Chains A and B, each alone.
Chain A
């Protein structure tokens, strides 16, 4: 079966203005709206479109995290994923460990394509896809804004600093997606009901043979430096004057 594996992460919702705990021990997540990482939603949308074009037969969505991640996986099933894999652990894992889990899942599911967001909007690491590709010894195409599949190959347009780069990779491959690849669909109520009947499997790290080792410890959380309050000017001439005064013109 031609399968696509999509990795998703549960994160603090895009619209939430985060707060740091007063003792600097973390970010307040209690009572905060959680969502599927927006980049991962784009990855899932792309997988669904590929399947709808007939170029894939099954879309599997997977996450690694505590029991609380279930609603986000259900959302993905409601969007159209065929089944969900929840690798359940209460230990926060580093990207390399997540990549090892995904590597184990590629062994189990044999996907021809793994789609992931280019980064999670909480820790902003931007590592997991590339790490998976390395461990799997397969190609990577990061920051994708266009994915074209042909027999055994993918042609991917990537958003890079100097413009748009196109590369060709042999499949299977890992593709991480950028914002302009597509616009994810909205979930409709009947789909949420249907999603409840879709296969949902819970796995453990042990069953996948992954023993994570912490290599990085966060010792402090702090707010960013604030900029000083600025001034208002009334027209273009005053603006020019202010810039000249600062020696910028």
Chain B
């Protein structure tokens, strides 16, 4: 029996997020998957064209409405619920976009949600982390219930492009007006994106100040790396919230993660478990970060970081 899967595209109005290609990768592991991507946007053409090219996508459906200029869950959920009838699965990324949106869709469909899918065992059986990744459970969706899910993007490699899926327009339902976008204070950055960067340089409380934290940006620039931070560093105001890595921040899977002055609370380790290589620099040899580090260096970060910068050249 073929599984009809609807994926909600994440995008900024111009560019399809790489998280969507990771959702496609997850959906493609469901046996006999027939994959449709839904693009809700004020003007969907550009994003729909990118979605139609993602390998494994069979069809793209667009829903255009001025309310979708910004991704408000209250406005998008009824659109997806209206489309969802023929689908066995409705998936979105486990980003703040998907975490906000997907449960609202699940409730409109009066069905179950599987959060943070990290592996697919069958069309109804999935693995997901609980307790901040300290346990992995296998769950079975019962009685043929429609599956709404968020995909833990760090668990999947984005699929490539090359498809030429047909694009169809669906008519929008009138979204509610009780929720309005006001503003977003996104720090514009020329640096690689934290969630897709190959290398991440991350700093913790031991940096001691926002000024010292700048040192990490210089190192990151030399490594063409993204910059991350522990919760302690964000709470202390050394780095903005969008840099937070961990259970309540971003879950990332770079090739190389360099943790500088991060002690390694369980909640932080949750966010980096899938990194290929973890480097830890910390003056405390007993810091828990060393338990997960592939390469550990005990020492004063204020000496080591400038040395690294110089050695990399």
Q: Tell me the A residues contacting B by CB distance below 8 Å.
A: 12, 17-18, 20, 27, 94-96, 99, 118, 121-135, 137-143, 145, 155, 158-170, 173, 178-180, 214-224, 227-228, 230-240, 242-243, 246, 248-249
| A134 B107 Cβ-Cβ under 8 A | yes
Q: How far is the CA of A139 from the CA of B86 in the complex (A)?
A: 27
What 7 A-B pairs have minimum CB-CB distances, sorted nearest first? A134-B107, A130-B103, A236-B307, A131-B107, A127-B103, A215-B112, A163-B186
Q: Is B169 an interface residue (CB 8 A)?
A: no
| B107 A168 Cβ-Cβ under 8 A | no
Chain A residue numbers with a CB within 8 Å of B273 are 224, 227
| B103 A239 Cβ-Cβ under 8 A | no
| B130 A122 Cβ-Cβ under 8 A | yes
Q: Which of B29-37, B60-68, B205-213, B291-299 contacts A (4 or more CB under 8 A)?
A: B291-299
A18-B134 CB under 8 A given contacts A96-B107, A163-B186: yes
| A131 B99 Cβ-Cβ under 8 A | no
Interface of A is mostly: mixed
**Chain B's nearest CB lies how many Å from the CB of A229?**
9
A166-B184 CB under 8 A given contacts A124-B131, A131-B106: yes
List 19 contacting pairs A-B, 8 Å CB cutoff, sorted by A: A27-B135, A95-B113, A96-B111, A121-B247, A123-B130, A215-B142, A216-B139, A216-B142, A219-B140, A224-B136, A230-B278, A232-B297, A232-B298, A236-B304, A237-B307, A239-B279, A240-B312, A246-B277, A248-B256
Chain B residue numbers with a CB within 8 Å of A217 are 139-140, 142
Task: Pick the contact of B135: A134, A135, A222, A242 (CB < 8 A).
Answer: A222
| B104 A130 Cβ-Cβ under 8 A | yes
In B223-246, which residues have CB < 8 Å from any A CB?
A: 223, 231, 234-235, 240-242
**Chain A's nearest CB lies how many Å from the CB of B175?**
12
A248-B277 CB under 8 A given contacts A161-B242, A215-B143, A224-B136: yes
Residue from A123, A215, A218, A233 having most chain B Cβ neighbours under 10 A? A215
A139-B182 CB under 8 A given contacts A233-B296, A235-B297: no
| B297 A124 Cβ-Cβ under 8 A | no
Closest to A236 in B: B307
In B41-72, which residues have CB < 8 Å from any A CB?
A: 72
Residue from B135, B142, B277, B308 having most chain A Cβ neighbours under 10 A? B135
| B137 A95 Cβ-Cβ under 8 A | no
Q: Tell me the B residues contacting A by CB distance below 8 Å.
A: 72-74, 77, 95-97, 99-108, 110-116, 125, 129-143, 145, 176, 178-187, 195, 199, 223, 231, 234-235, 240-242, 247-248, 250, 255-256, 266, 273, 277-279, 281, 290, 292-299, 304, 307-308, 311-312
A127-B295 CB under 8 A given contacts A18-B135, A155-B182, A161-B242: no
**Chain B's nearest CB lies how many Å from the CB of A176?**
9
A215-B279 CB under 8 A given contacts A12-B131, A163-B241, A235-B299: no
| B112 A94 Cβ-Cβ under 8 A | yes
CB < 8 Å A-B pair total: 244
**Chain A's nearest CB lies how many Å from the CB of B136?**
5
| A124 B132 Cβ-Cβ under 8 A | yes
**Chain B's nearest CB lies how many Å from the CB of A210?**
13
| A164 B184 Cβ-Cβ under 8 A | yes
A224-B107 CB under 8 A given contacts A139-B179, A169-B179: no
A242-B186 CB under 8 A given contacts A162-B242, A215-B143: no
Closest to A128 in B: B103
| A240 B308 Cβ-Cβ under 8 A | yes
| A165 B184 Cβ-Cβ under 8 A | yes
Task: Pick the contact of B103: A126, A161, A164 (CB < 8 A).
Answer: A126
**Chain A's nearest CB lies how many Å from the CB of B301?**
10
| A224 B256 Cβ-Cβ under 8 A | no
Chain B residue numbers with a CB within 8 Å of A141 are 179
Q: How far is the CA of A51 from the CA of B55 in the complex (A)?
A: 53
| B137 A222 Cβ-Cβ under 8 A | yes
Chain A residue numbers with a CB within 8 Å of B101 are 130
Chain B residue numbers with a CB within 8 Å of A145 are 241
| B294 A231 Cβ-Cβ under 8 A | yes
A163-B184 CB under 8 A given contacts A124-B130, A127-B106, A216-B114: yes
**Chain B's nearest CB lies how many Å from the CB of A233?**
5
Contacts beyond the supplied A161-B96, A180-B234: 7 A-B pairs with Cβ under 8 Å:
A124-B129, A124-B131, A125-B113, A142-B99, A160-B96, A179-B235, A221-B135
Chain B residue numbers with a CB within 8 Å of A128 are 103
**Chain A's nearest CB lies how many Å from the CB of B291?**
8
Closest to A138 in B: B178
| A218 B139 Cβ-Cβ under 8 A | yes
Closest to B273 in A: A224
Chain A residue numbers with a CB within 8 Å of B241 are 145, 159, 163-164, 180
Closest to B17 in A: A161
| B74 A164 Cβ-Cβ under 8 A | no
Q: How far is the CA of A168 from the CA of B74 in the complex (A)?
A: 12
